[in-house]
């Protein structure tokens, strides 16, 4: 599947990768933009909305409702899928209603089959709306 009308935005504030590709970027055959700050993510979404946003980290405050609202307020952005990706050892991995607007929670380690399925589903959702 070739994603020509969208891309994947990965928000990973803890990403220290400078020259190497982000682990999610390296494993996908889709266009990926890795944002290292919420400001960078919001700017990128305002330029061109992605079909999928993956919020990486174990801190649910990073995925606050104002951030999700900011991401969704741009033109065509309501169609994008937003998921949080946390570590299985995080005490906060049991997703609750604390983050309205987030479409789901993924727990690492994440299989490539699940990730590919998620990307294809998000892409289909973005072109069908």
pTM of the full predicted structure?
Answer: 0.82
pLDDT tens, position by position, 68-78: 888 888 766 66
Structure token pair of residue 71: 């991401």
* Cα 112 → chain centroid: 15
Q: What is the pLDDT of residues 58-116, one digit of tens each?
A: 766 556 778 888 888 876 666 789 998 888 776 555 555 556 678 888 888 888 888 88
Q: Dig out the tokens for 101 from the structure.
A: 């607007």
Structural domains of the chain ordered from first start: 8-128 (3.40.50.2300)
- Is pLDDT above 50 for 3? no
The distance between the two most distant Cα atoms of the chain, rounded to a whole number of Å, is 37
Question: How remote is the C-alpha of 123 from its chain's centroid?
Answer: 12
Mean pLDDT of 35-55: 90
Q: What is the pLDDT of residues 9-43, one digit of tens each?
A: 999 887 765 556 666 666 667 788 989 888 999 99
* pLDDT score recorded for residue 27: 64
Give the pLDDT of residue 112.
Answer: 83
CA distances to 78, 95, 105, 110 from 87, in Å: 26, 12, 10, 9
pLDDT at 129: 62
* pLDDT for the residue 17: 59
């Amino acid at each position: 599947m070739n994603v020509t009308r969208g891309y994947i935005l990965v928000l990973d504030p803890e990403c220290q990768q400078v020259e190497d590709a982000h682990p999610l970027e390296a494993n996908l055959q889709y266009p990926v933009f890795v944002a290292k700050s919420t400001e960078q993510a919001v700017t990128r979404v305002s330029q061109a909305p992605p079909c999928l946003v993956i919020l990486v980290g174990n801190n649910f405050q990073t995925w606050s409702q104002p951030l999700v609202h900011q991401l969704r307020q741009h033109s065509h952005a309501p169609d994008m899928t937003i998921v949080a990706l946390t570590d299985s050892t995080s005490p906060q991995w049991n997703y609750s209603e604390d983050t309205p607007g987030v479409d789901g929670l993924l727990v690492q380690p994440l299989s490539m089959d699940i990730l590919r399925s998620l990307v294809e589903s998000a892409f289909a959702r973005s072109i069908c709306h």
